[in-house]
Structure 1
Amino acid sequence: MLRNTMKKLPLTSALLALAFTSSTAFANGGHFLVDDATITDPGTCQLETWTSRVSGESVWILQPACSTQGGWEFAVPLVYSWSDSEVTEVGLEAKTIVSEDVYGGALAFTVGLVMDTVDDEFAGGFVNIPYSRELNAYWTLHLNAGTEYDRIGKYWNALWGVATTYALTQHIDVIMEVAGVGSDDPIFGFGARYQFDRFDLDLGIARDTQVNDTIYTIGLNVAF
């Protein structure tokens, strides 16, 4: 949905669409391009929200998520356009941990659907497989591989991503990532997360080399 979303909302670019492929998720997660292989604790919920600005326009994403006792996390991301003053897309995602011991790391599975609320029609869906592995006390590696379906164009695209998380301090993580859709030029992202007791504050910047645009983002994740 990355560039497909851009065709409908030029201001959204990478962070929006890959937000749908990167559920909450969140050692990374939230607005970050590359998902991690974790879910919220069974029986708990979290609210992730962030706003992104590119080319002088802004969007706001609200994404509540809850996990069941059976090991599934369900999220409902909503995309709001500040310029159009309306909700433009709503999604439904389901995520589960496939294994916590695959070559020393964890493997997850995510599937999602997206509805275009402007045209009131089904926009497409995706499948993503995140893998996360702690390399040492400071570094964690995240890999993503998946596919998306564009209902309007009636075609499939491959999704991929690589990210590293560095624990700078006990409360601050630095995240570096690169992700792409099909054969398009990749998106490079850099950000930081400050972890408080029950909420996280995110700051991020990403460069979409396909369209030569820079996206600035600030986000908040709250557990409850």
Structure 2
Amino acid sequence: MMPAHAGRPMMVDDAAIVEPNHCQLESWVYKRSIGTEYWAVPACNVGGKLEVALGGARIVGGGNNANLAVLQVKTVFKPLDRHGWGGGLVVGTQSLPDHGGIGDVFAAVPLSVSTLSGALLVHTNAGLLRSKATRDLQATWGIGVEAALTERSALTAETSGQQGAKPLVQLGIKHWLVKDRVQLDATYGGHPDNASSGRFVTLGLVLFTNFSR
């Protein structure tokens, strides 16, 4: 089980959190040949410097129908600006509630660099994952880029993986239907050397709100 995703539509995390007094709801469908996952992950900024996300997924297909719960906490120790870099820390857990107890536990340090006045963003992740099933501690990594197409649209490209496993590659696009409020996105990815059975697509919707109003 891979650590929780970053901001839609990327798997690689960025050095940013939801703005103070704001919440977001990320929802998406993850489709591959062996089944489909239906995700919903709300997150809110608590106290100005801490983003807390609590959500999960319903996994259907392949004879393995199950629920997946996610709890993630994220902070930024250097905010990302349009002409510099930023860094943060994310920790969390993913678990199967029907199996009881804490599941896989992960932690990562996301670093982001902004160039071309924010038109090109580069994100890197370095972290650790402790698997509940094997009790092994594995290194995780990721690198991704976001390239603005217009004021409302951007392309994403990334690769990520964990120790002992083949890396994933993913390409995506995101578009603001309502700037900073409603976002649509989609991705296509998989393991580069795998057959089509290992490929996946996602479709997502992200909603933002200010709860102080």
Contact 1:186–1:210 (Cα < 8 Å) also in 2: no
Contact 1:63–1:76 (Cα < 8 Å) also in 2: yes
**Aligned equivalent of 1:214:** 199
**Aligned equivalent of 1:79:** 57
Q: Distance in 2 between matches of 1:54 and 1:112?
A: 25
Question: Structure 1 residues 153, 188: closer, same or farther in 2, change over 3 A?
Answer: same
Contact 2:70–2:93 (Cα < 8 Å) also in 1: yes
What is the Cα deviation at residue 89 of structure 1?
A: 1.3
> Alignment partner of 2:98: what SS?
coil
1:1-224 aligned within 5 A: 1-2=1-2, 18=3, 20=4, 22-23=5-6, 29-83=7-61, 88-100=67-79, 104-137=84-117, 138-197=119-178, 198-209=181-192, 212=195, 213-224=198-209
Q: Deviations over 1:48-107 (max 9, x none)?
A: 000011115211111000001241000013011133796521121100001137993000
What do you get for the CA RMSD once the two structures are aligned?
Answer: 2.1
TM-score, normalised with respect to structure 1: 0.83
**Greater Cα shift, 134-143 or 113-122:** 113-122
Q: Distance in 2 between matches of 1:101 and 1:73?
A: 15
Gaps of 5+ in 1: 3-17, 24-28
Contact 2:174–2:185 (Cα < 8 Å) also in 1: yes
The number of residue pairs the alignment matches comes to 202
Q: Give percent identity, aligned residues only.
A: 24
Gaps of 5+ in 2: none
Q: Deviations over 1:165-212 (max 9, x none)?
A: 000111110001011111322111000000122111011001124754
Q: Deviations over 1:7-52 (max 9, x none)?
A: xxxxxxxxxxx4x1x34xxxxx134211111001111101000001
Q: Distance in 1 between matches of 2:80 and 2:27?
A: 31
> Alignment partner of 1:118: what SS?
helix
Question: Structure 1 residues 101, 37: closer, same or farther in 2, change over 3 A?
Answer: closer
Q: Distance in 2 between matches of 1:151 and 1:176?
A: 30
